[in-house]
Structure 1
Amino acid sequence: MTSNGAPRRGGRPNRAEAAALHQRLRAAAVRTFLANGYDATTMVAIAEAAEVAKATVYARYPDKRAVFLDVIPWALSRAVRPDAEPADGDGDLRATLLAIGSAAVEHALDADIVQLHRIARTEAHRFPEFAAAAGSFGWAERQQQVMAVLRRHAEAGALAIDDLELTAEHFIAMVEILPARLADFGVFRSPRDQQRHLTHAVDLFLRGVLAR
């Protein structure tokens, strides 16, 4: 491996080198799409951003469309990834949901995430494959995280939930959707107002799921 991450000359890259190159190409492609948009991005521009030969990009992707289909779901799922699941051993469900909600909002308001969502929506008519890949766009992992927390508390008798999947989906919508949509228009609440929104959403959610 050379100092800039390219495979060393004189042989095929090993598995680790190939994986590193793939991540490097993905990161370069994301930067290029963010900077130029889809139409103005070229395979040459992606190669230049990754500091590799154009043939290296074509060896992995047949065209720009294939690059976009690969890197947009990857970027949306990895940027500001959720931390490890908040500690829930003390049974403080409210604190756990506040921590998960805060991470969800942080992800939704990340500048790159906002721009990536805009690009994905703008180009969605060209990429029906995105509908099938929607579960990899970041929220599915968060939904599974919420479901795991709710399941534990429901099994302990603290919650009355008929459908874990839908309940987790509604929780994410309550804490994340409005801030994300406001961000689409360049509107960002103050930290104080955002915390007020999050706290109210969590408390309202808990009033609906706590066992009577």
Structure 2
Amino acid sequence: MAGQLHVNDTDARETVCLQAAPQSDVSLRFPCERPMESSPGFDPARAGKPVSKFVAIADDDEPFQPKRGRPNAHQAAAIERTIREAAAQVFLSEGYERASMEMIATQAGVPKSTLYKRFPEKRALLRAVLGGQVAAWCEVDRSHTGADDLEQRLKHLATDILRHATKPEVQAFWSLVSTAWSGPDEISERHEAIGYTKMIAGFEREIRELGPRAGITARNPRQVATVLMTILCGWIEHVAPTASGPDDEARRFAHDAVDMLIGGSAAW
């Protein structure tokens, strides 16, 4: 049928039909995806139905060629990317609790057995969706920061984190994480899912590498990085949702936090 990609998944013993997902009001972009219109060989007239804004393509940029038999590595990756995009749309539109694996399978156009084979439960699927998002949030352009200046580098990183936190789509994902890992004994998992540990690692690296050049040798760079991230988290949770001028407020708070961390009471 036009508009379907048929892949015979022998392990699941059923045919996987990757259909173009319906149009959604949610605009998402994953690092490994690009607009369908720019994909090699794309012909919207031949598709015969509405298509999603983004389509999974092979890592080497070759057009997806559906074949009979067990999916190869590129086909398997395409299936997973399609599932992740569909899951993101369902999670954001329905919320974590209302979203079901059946709804996600339907949105992705794959059998439930194919979905469960790759993601055995809903939180595992949410982790996969967040993986690409966290990578984007943690990606910082260092070309505009002081090359060897610890204070300026930390201010740049902190500002970038807080500015990301004010974006509606980021707040929506954080709300999903808070619901999925809501227990008091799941704080570390919640922080891992949302990327806090990666952000702390970024601060730690800068403190460890640039601190000595600034005459600062931290006894425990990880602890210092955690303190800074904890301060920023307070702003993210209590100020970001209602910030009137989010970019400016994020920058001011980030700079104040770093000044107080480095200068202590002298920055009060």
- If the TM-score is normalised by the length of the shorter chain, which range does it land in? 0.7 to 0.9
Q: Give, in whole Å, the separation in 2 of the partners of 1:130 and 1:171.
A: 17
Work out the CA distance in 2 between the residues paired with 1:77 and 1:59. Answer: 24
| Structure 1, unpaired ranges of 5+ | none
Q: Confirm whether residue 37 of structure 1 aligns to residue 95 of structure 2.
A: yes
TM-score (norm 1): 0.77
Return 5+ residue gaps in structure 2 as ranges. 6-41, 43-54, 57-63
Q: Given the superposition, is the C-alpha separation of residues 34 and 140 from structure 1 closer, same or farther in structure 2, using an over 3 Å criterion?
A: same
Structure 1 residues 175 and 129, CA, compared in 2 at 3 Å: closer, same or farther? closer
- The residue number in structure 2 matching 1:188 is 243
Could you say which structure has the higher helix fraction?
1
2:230 pairs, out of 160, 173, 177, with 173
Q: What is the deviation of 1:201?
A: 1.7
CA RMSD for the aligned pairs?
3.3
2:256 aligns to what? 200
- Superposition deviation, residue 36 in structure 1: 0.4
| 1:154, distance to aligned residue in structure 2 (A) | 3.0
- Equivalences for residues 60-99 of structure 1 within 5 A: 60-64=118-122, 66-68=124-126, 70-71=127-128, 73-74=130-131, 77-85=134-142, 90-99=147-156
Question: How many residues align structurally?
Answer: 207
CA distance in 2, matches of 1:41, 1:188: 29
Displacement of 1:178: 1.0
Letter of the aligned partner of 1:15 in structure 2? A
1:158 paired with 2:215, answer yes
Q: Which whole-Å deviations, capped at 9, do the CAs of 1:73-92 have from their partners, x for residues lacking one? A: 52662353322555777422
- Which one has the bigger strand percentage? 2
Are 2:196 and 1:139 aligned?
A: yes
Structure 2 residue 193 is matched with structure 1 residue 108: no
Residue 40 to residue 177, structure 1, CA distance change in 2 (3 Å): same
Q: Distance in 1 between matches of 2:120 and 2:262?
A: 49
Percent identity (aligned): 22
User: Scaled by the length of structure 2, what TM-score is found?
Assistant: 0.63
Q: Post-superposition shift, 1:189?
A: 3.8
Q: Which has the higher contact order (CA 8 A, sep 6+)?
A: 1
